Amino acid sequence: MTNLVSGMRPTGKLHLGHYLGVLRNWIDLQNSQKYNCFFFIADWHSLTTKYEDTSELKNNILEITRDFLASGLNPEKSTIYIQSAIPEIAELHLLLSMITPNNWAERDPTLKDLVKAAAGGDEAKEANISLTYGMLGYPILQTADILTFKGALVPVGKDQEAHLEMSREIARRFNYIFDCEFFAEPKPLFTDTPLVHGIDGRKMSKSWNNDIKISATEEETMVQVKKMITDTQRIKRSDPGDVERCLVPFPYYKVFANEEIIAQVKQECETASRGCIDCKKQLAEIINLYFKPIRERRANFSDEQIKDILKNGNQKARLVAQNTLKELKNIMKLY
């Protein structure tokens, strides 16, 4: 069975952007039973841009796992683990760094974004942030994440395309140098994410405060949905709207509502028989209904249970990782 590997940085509680863009896809892949799935929390990667303040890291790991499990990732079906619990990943990262030309790392088009992220969006600070060795090594560490588990398939967003390309090149170079076919070249599996925005119409992001968390209460969800930007050309309640111009709510209807409701919203919006306030109220109810079981499951996992699940996952992952490193050192004729 094909090994499938993917990870997420523990940036905090997950929002609907993560859910629709990544998590829902992971769960479908897991449930297809076509792959041997490895899903992990990339806590080392989060240090590349947030090495100074680690105060929330442990708690973020717990919360992201809670989101994973409540949404349907299943430790019986997938191996779920923490990157930093697998020292073999760091060991492989080091070994791969020996064979990776510096200019491969330097041409990573996301390097500038890492510096930006490390500055926390503060432009004055940005000039004072140095590019670290860790940032340069980001895609090589990511390659180690994948190759430690002999990942052949990697579900990621389009933003990871350049990283995956480097992973393929590194795998190829290893096989060439050591005259073997040890690593499969990991193929990206791009998710086609429905275009759903943050409530202000920009990309959904925690740092812009325009997100709706999976874990939000029904009231919090309602408050956020009511702030969504609609059709900006619809000024008065009596103006007919245009769902194609409706920036945020209508695309959400397309994701969460059934055909019948979508058609009704379109018809009522375009004849002005529906106002945006009522429309958003109904949308919040639909979103709340969709996430109700997930939110209930979320509340039912104790910290202890989650830690236990991670401990088991780490153990399972580690056995695989140890085995890969053993084989690899054999090929490299290392001690």
**30 or 221: CB nearest ligand SF4:** 221
- The beta-strand segments (E) located in 102-248 are 153-156, 187-190
Question: Nearer to ligand TRP by C-beta: 60 or 282?
Answer: 60
Give whichever of 163 and 280 is closer to ligand SF4, judged by the CB atom. Answer: 280
Q: Is 279 in the site for ligand SF4 (CB under 6 A)?
A: yes
Chain residues 160-179 in contact with ligand TRP, contact rule CB under 6 A: 160
- Counting contacts by CB under 6 A, is residue 152 touching ligand TRP? no
**Among residues 132, 129, 155, which one has the least CA distance to residue 45?**
132
- Contact window for ligand SF4 (CB under 6 A) among 8-16, 24-32, 34-42, 276-284: 276-284
Q: Nearest distance from residue 240's CB to ligand SF4, in Å?
A: 9
Distance CA 167, CA 173 (A): 10
Distance (Å, rounded) from C-alpha 102 to C-alpha 86? 25
Quote the CA–CA distance of 316 and 79 in Å, as a whole number. 7
Closest to ligand SF4 by CB, 274 vs 295, is 274
- The nearest distance, CB 145 to ligand TRP, in angstroms, is 4
In angstroms, the CA 214 to CA 211 distance is: 10
Kindly state whether residue 45 participates in binding ligand TRP, applying the rule CB under 6 A. yes
Under the criterion CB under 6 A, does residue 204 sit at the interface with ligand SF4? no
Q: From 103-111, 205-213, 240-248, 310-318, give the range in contact with ligand SF4 by CB under 6 A.
A: 240-248
In order, the DSSP letters of 26-65 are HHHHHHHT-EEEEEEE-HHHHHTT--S--TTHHHHHHHHH
Cβ proximity to ligand SF4, 60 vs 230, nearer residue:
230
Strand partners of residue 153: 4, 187
Distant-in-sequence, close-in-space partners of 179: CB < 8 Å, separation ≥ 6: none
Q: How far apart are CA 79 and CA 317, in angstroms?
A: 7
Residue 152 CB, nearest approach to ligand TRP (Å): 12
Q: At what angle do helices 259-270 and 249-256 cross, to 10 degrees?
A: 160
- Between 191 and 221, CB nearer to ligand TRP: 191
Q: In the complex with ligand TRP, which residue's Cβ is closer, 146 or 248? A: 146
Residue that has been written with the tokens 């992973």 in this structure: 167
Instruction: Look at residues 184, 140, 144 and name the one whose alpha carbon lies nearest to residue 162.
Output: 140
Interaction of residue 257 with ligand SF4, rule CB under 6 A: no
9 binds ligand TRP (CB under 6 A): yes
- Indicate whether 146 belongs to the interface with ligand TRP (CB under 6 A): yes
**Interface of this chain with ligand SF4, residues 56 to 85, rule: CB under 6 A:** none
What does the binding site for ligand TRP look like in residue numbers (CB under 6 A)? 5-9, 42, 45, 142, 145-146, 154, 156, 160
